[in-house]
């Protein structure tokens, strides 16, 4: 019988937003990894995962049972077998091919227009505003290069003026009026939007683990605008919400206990 696999969101779950992996989670994850595989499913691309999760990916024994699932699982890197090996990509989907070249260009033009509008607001501007990731696009009005100070300032502005809520509505209206009903928009982290073909939310990752018990832990699970919502619903009673790495530690211990009970035949 295949081992269970526990999928974790990254930002806000295993790390604070855009911060390195919380080291106090190493021990509980190692213990969980003795009885289950581990997966990281995130809207971020592999470069951010490698940067934030390098402790687990490079230097921890958990790497040999660690699946990495960037861009909502539309990319899948399987665990290495030997210490000299890296994670290997065995699946990758392409957004431009899925929605068509003309629609993809139209989508980018809309984002460029909205970024110009966003720049007129009193928000910090850094750089790297629109990030094509192959299978999805991330749009960050303040820029992915924002410093901690700039991120905090943007978060306060967003909270006070519902900025992203306004932009979310504009995005949806513009997409629908331009024939892009087959594209989904989600809030990505604290400062951005994730945009991808319908059905390419984090439930995409479940396609890779058919027939296995899949558990999920994430922080943006309760609102349909959040990018953990669909997979949280799909995993049902094996889903757990967290408010950050501190609570994730407790959730890991709870999941390990439940898996052990199930293996011992205790209902």
Of 4, 11, 201, 228, which is the active-site residue?
11
- Asked if 79 and 88 touch (Cβ cutoff 8 Å), the reply is no
47 classed as catalytic: no
Q: Which residues of 109-125 are buried (b: 16+ CB within 10 A; e: fewer)?
A: ebbeebbeebeeeebbb
d(CA 123, CA 160): 12
Of 4, 9, 158, 228, which is the active-site residue?
9
Helix, strand, coil shares, percent, the chain, to 5: 45, 20, 35
4 classed as catalytic: no
Q: What backbone phi and psi angles, to 5 degrees, belong to 130?
A: -115, 120
Mention every residue, 6+ apart, whose C-beta is less than 8 A from residue 109: none
Closest-CA residue to 217 (of 247, 189, 191, 193):
247
* Matching residue, tokens 């909502």: 72
Q: What backbone phi and psi angles, to 5 degrees, belong to 261?
A: -60, -45
CA 88, 41, 247, 21 torsion-angle sign: positive
User: Which pairing describes strands 130-132 and 192-197: parallel, antiparallel, or unpaired?
Assistant: unpaired
Which runs of consecutive H residues, i.e. helices, occur in 69-123?
95-99, 101-118
Which runs of consecutive H residues, i.e. helices, occur in the chain?
26-33, 46-52, 54-59, 95-99, 101-118, 148-161, 163-177, 229-234, 245-263
Q: Which residues are catalytic?
A: 9, 11
């Amino acid at each position: 019988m295949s081992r269970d696999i526990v999928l974790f969101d990254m930002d806000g779950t295993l790390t604070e937003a855009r911060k390195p992996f919380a080291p106090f989670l190493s021990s509980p994850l190692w213990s969980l990894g003795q009885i289950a595989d581990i997966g990281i499913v995130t809207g971020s691309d592999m470069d951010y995962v490698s940067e934030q999760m390098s402790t687990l990916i490079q230097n921890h024994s958990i790497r040999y049972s660690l699946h990495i699932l960037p861009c909502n699982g539309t990319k899948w890197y399987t665990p290495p077998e030997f210490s000299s090996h890296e994670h290997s990509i065995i699946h990758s989907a392409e957004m431009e091919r899925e929605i068509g070249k003309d629609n993809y260009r139209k989508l980018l033009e809309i984002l460029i227009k909205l970024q110009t509008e966003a720049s007129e607001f009193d928000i910090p501007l850094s750089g790297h505003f629109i990030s094509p990731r192959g299978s999805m696009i991330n749009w960050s009005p303040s820029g992915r290069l924002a410093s901690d100070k700039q991120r905090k300032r943007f978060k306060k502005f967003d909270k006070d003026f519902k900025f992203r809520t306004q932009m979310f509505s504009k995005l949806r209206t513009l997409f629908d009026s331009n024939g892009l009903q087959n594209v989904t928009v989600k809030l990505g982290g604290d400062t951005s939007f994730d945009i991808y073909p319908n059905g390419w939310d984090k439930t995409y990752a479940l396609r890779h683990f058919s027939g296995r018990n899949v558990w999920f832990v994430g922080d943006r699970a309760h609102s349909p605008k959040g990018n953990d919502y669909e997979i949280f619903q799909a995993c049902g009673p094996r889903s757990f919400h967290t408010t950050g790495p501190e609570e994730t530690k407790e959730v890991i211990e709870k999941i390990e206990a439940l898996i052990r009970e199930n293996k011992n035949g205790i209902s």
